[in-house]
Amino acid sequence: MTVRPMVNRDSQFFWDGTRAGELRIQRCNACGARRFPPGPACQSCDAYDRGYDVAAGTGTVFSYVVHRHPPVPGKELPIVIALIDLDEGVRMVGEVVDVSDEEIEIGMPLRVDFNRIDDELTLPVWRRAEEMP
C-alpha cells in the first residue's frame, strides 16, 4: 500500500501534472518566481496569482539516504531516496529507482520518471540521467 499525499487547492496542480506525465513547478504570474513546495502566496512579491512551468525533469543529487529499517508501506527495502536540485532552481525529495546504494552519490545527474500507482495517484520517481532514451 502506497502512502497517499494530502492534497489541497494549492497542490492539486502538481498531482494533476504527475498523472499527465508532467513535473509541474509553481510559478508566480506576477513576478515569475518559481517555488517548491507550492503555496498560495508568492514568497517574492506576495501575489496570489500563480501558474506553473513544466520542469525539464532533470536535476542532480543534493543529498540522499538509503533506507533499510524500519518497514516503509508499499516499498521493498532498501530504497534510495534523494534530495534533488532541479535545473529550474527548486529542490524536491524523490525515490531513486534504478541506482544502487553503492552507486548513489551527491552530484549524480538524474531524470524524472512517473510511477503510476492507480487512476488517482502517480508518483514522480528518479532514474540515472544517462540511461534514459
Partner 1 sequence: MSPLSRKAAIAGIGATEFSKASGRSELQLSVEAVRAALADCGLGVEDVDGLTTFTMDTSSEIALARELGIKELRFFSRINYGGGAACATVQQAAMAVTTGVADVVVCYRGFNERSESRFGQFSLAAATQVNTNGLDNAWTYPMGLGTPAATVAMQARRYMHEYGATSADFGAVAVADRRHAATNPHAFFYEKPITLEDHQASRMIVDPLHLLDCCQESDGAVALVVTSVERARDLRQRPAVVAAAAQGSGADQYVMTSYYRDDIGIPEMGVVGRELWRQSMLAPDHMPMAILYDHFTPYVLMQLEELGFCGRGEAKDFIADGAIELGGRLPLNTHGGQLGEAYIHGMNGIAEAVRQLRGTSVNQVPDVPHVLVTAGTGVPTSGLILSA
Residues that bind partner 1 (CB under 8 A): 2-8, 10-11, 36-37, 62-73, 75, 79, 81, 83, 90-95, 101, 106, 121, 123-124
Grid coordinates given for 66: 538509503
Residues that bind Zn ion (rule: CB under 5 A) add up to a total of 8
User: Which entry of partner 1, Zn ion, none binds 70, CB below 5 to 8 A by partner kind?
Assistant: partner 1
> To the nearest whole angstrom, how small is the minimum distance from the Cβ of residue 25 to Zn ion?
14
Q: Is 41 in the site for Zn ion (CB under 5 A)?
A: no
DSSP 8-state code for residue 12:
H
What is d(CA 47, CA 41) in angstroms, rounded to the nearest whole number?
A: 6
> Which residues are CB-neighbours of 48 under 8 A, at least 6 positions away?
40, 41, 42
Instruction: Please calculate the CA angle 92-94-99 and round it to the nearest 5 degrees.
Output: 130
Q: Which is nearer to partner 1, 107 or 133 (CB)?
A: 107
Using CB under 5 A as the criterion, which residues of the chain lie in contact with Zn ion when the complex forms?
Answer: 28, 30-31, 33, 42, 44-45, 47
